[in-house]
């Protein structure tokens, strides 16, 4: 009789309703984590109830909320739990996840929690190294604009700090903006006009290249970033690739699991 695995690893993501980018990004992160911790049974949870409902209604695929995943792990006899969010920031979604974990702390022998992508200064540097290496082919007269989501949470200052650090590292042609917070498109446009590049490359600063990347960044809609930059006379190229597709980004998450496990 095989021994029941008593160690569980829960990977928590905001989620996406786009199946192909879920495979390329979220599943790729989950797979890398599992490959590094094969003695753990791996579980998935999304924090977006809207996406969970949409995927179930459209595809019949059931994805657990954090609470549902925790209940499943209890039923499976998991005793020691590692949790790794794929969130970019320590923001609202991460806070809600932590609240749920706190309520379930008495049901497990141990719960250890890994950090979101951008938590320490080392995380920032690793992300900067990945992006600057990935786009090292850019000429100095081209600009890379990274579109983040943005949040009402105070941790939104992460985006401005990341932009500042890119510049401090000598990457004056890389800019960070957000769809729903500061710095928004108008702020980025001022910086781009001052830099006056011959070409703009747009990329999502998001785990998945989902709805925001496809529609708000790269579409032909009049209010997409691509269209607005083109209307200002710039040549624009879009890279529809989520952060989860970069092996070095996935490694940051794996390293965060390692640090949490060794606490």
Closest CA to 208 of 32, 50, 15: 15
On whether both 236 and 251 belong to a single domain, the answer is no
On whether both 113 and 126 belong to a single domain, the answer is no
Distance CA 163, CA 188 (A): 11
On whether both 161 and 198 belong to a single domain, the answer is yes
Q: From the CB of residue 237, how many other CB atoms can be counted at a distance below 10 Å?
A: 13
* pLDDT at residue 4, rounded to an integer: 63
Is 95 within the bounds of a domain?
A: yes
| pLDDT exceeds 70 at position 104 | yes
* pLDDT at residue 1, rounded to an integer: 37
Q: Which residues contact 253 (CB under 8 A, 6 or more apart)?
A: 29, 32, 33, 84, 86, 114, 117
Alpha helices in 135-212 (DSSP H): 157-168, 185-195, 211
Reported as a single tens digit per residue, the pLDDT across 231-250 is 999 999 999 999 999 999 99
Q: What is the pTM of this model?
A: 0.95
Among 2-11, 47-56, 218-227, name the one with the lowest average pLDDT. Answer: 2-11
Helix axes 121-134, 157-168, angle to 10 degrees: 60
* pLDDT at residue 2, rounded to an integer: 47
Catalytic residue selected from 149, 153, 212, 256: 149
Is 1 within the bounds of a domain?
A: no
* pLDDT at residue 5, rounded to an integer: 75
What separation in angstroms does the CA of 85 have from each of 114, 116, 221, 234? 7, 6, 32, 37
Is 189 within the bounds of a domain?
A: yes
The share of the chain scoring above pLDDT 70, in percent, equals 98
* pLDDT at residue 263, rounded to an integer: 82
| pLDDT exceeds 90 at position 72 | yes
- Across the chain, what does the average pLDDT equal? 96
On whether both 68 and 171 belong to a single domain, the answer is no
Is 182 within the bounds of a domain?
A: yes
244 three-state secondary structure: helix
Reported as a single tens digit per residue, the pLDDT across 146-191 is 999 999 999 999 999 999 999 999 999 999 999 999 999 999 999 9
H-helix or E-strand containing 147?
strand 142-148
Query: What total of structural domains would you count in the chain?
Result: 2
Is 144 within the bounds of a domain?
A: yes
Catalytic residue flag (residue 153): no
Is 127 within the bounds of a domain?
A: yes
On whether both 95 and 69 belong to a single domain, the answer is yes
On whether both 236 and 125 belong to a single domain, the answer is yes
CATH label of the domain that carries residue 129:
3.40.50.1400
- Sign of the torsion angle spanned by Cα atoms 179, 26, 243, 260: positive
Q: Which residues contact 87 (CB under 8 A, 6 or more apart)?
A: 12, 13, 14, 93, 94, 97, 116, 117, 207
On whether both 165 and 249 belong to a single domain, the answer is no
On whether both 235 and 146 belong to a single domain, the answer is yes
The whole domain housing 49 covers 7-117+245-261
pLDDT band at 122 (very low <50, low <70, confident <90, very high): very high
Q: Pull the structure tokens for residue 53.
A: 């409902």
In this structure, are residues 219 and 204 in contact, taking their beta carbons and an 8 Å threshold? no
What separation in angstroms does the CA of 185 have from each of 52, 97, 172, 194? 29, 30, 18, 14
Is 2 within the bounds of a domain?
A: no
On whether both 108 and 164 belong to a single domain, the answer is no
In this structure, are residues 124 and 117 in contact, taking their beta carbons and an 8 Å threshold? no
Q: From the CB of residue 104, how many other CB atoms can be counted at a distance below 10 Å?
A: 17
On whether both 134 and 223 belong to a single domain, the answer is yes
112 three-state secondary structure: strand
Distance CA 137, CA 133 (A): 8
């Amino acid at each position: 009789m095989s021994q029941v695995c008593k160690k569980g690893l829960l990977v928590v993501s905001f989620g996406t309703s786009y199946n192909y980018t879920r495979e390329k990004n979220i599943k790729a992160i989950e797979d890398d984590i599992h490959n590094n911790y094969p003695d753990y049974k791996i579980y998935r949870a999304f924090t977006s109830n809207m996406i969970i409902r949409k995927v179930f209604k459209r595809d019949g695929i059931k994805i657990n909320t954090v609470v549902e995943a925790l209940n499943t792990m209890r039923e499976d006899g998991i005793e020691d739990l590692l949790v790794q969010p794929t969130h970019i920031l320590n923001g609202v979604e991460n806070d809600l996840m932590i609240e749920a974990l706190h309520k379930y702390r008495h049901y497990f022998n141990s719960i250890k929690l890994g950090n979101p992508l951008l938590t320490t200064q080392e995380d920032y540097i690793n992300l900067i190294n990945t992006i600057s290496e990935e786009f090292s082919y850019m000429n100095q007269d081209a600009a890379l604009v990274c579109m983040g989501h943005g949040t009402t949470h105070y941790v939104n200052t992460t985006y401005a700090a990341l932009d500042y650090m890119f510049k401090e590292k000598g990457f004056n042609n890389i800019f960070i903006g957000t769809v729903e917070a500061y710095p928004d498109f108008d702020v980025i446009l001022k910086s781009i006009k001052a830099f006056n590049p011959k070409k703009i490359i747009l990329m999502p600063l998001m785990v998945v290249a989902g709805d925001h990347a496809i529609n708000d960044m790269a579409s032909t809609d009049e209010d997409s970033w691509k269209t607005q930059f083109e209307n200002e006379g710039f040549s624009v190229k879009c890279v529809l690739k989520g952060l989860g597709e970069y092996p070095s980004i996935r490694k940051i998450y794996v390293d965060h699991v390692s640090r949490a496990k060794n606490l």
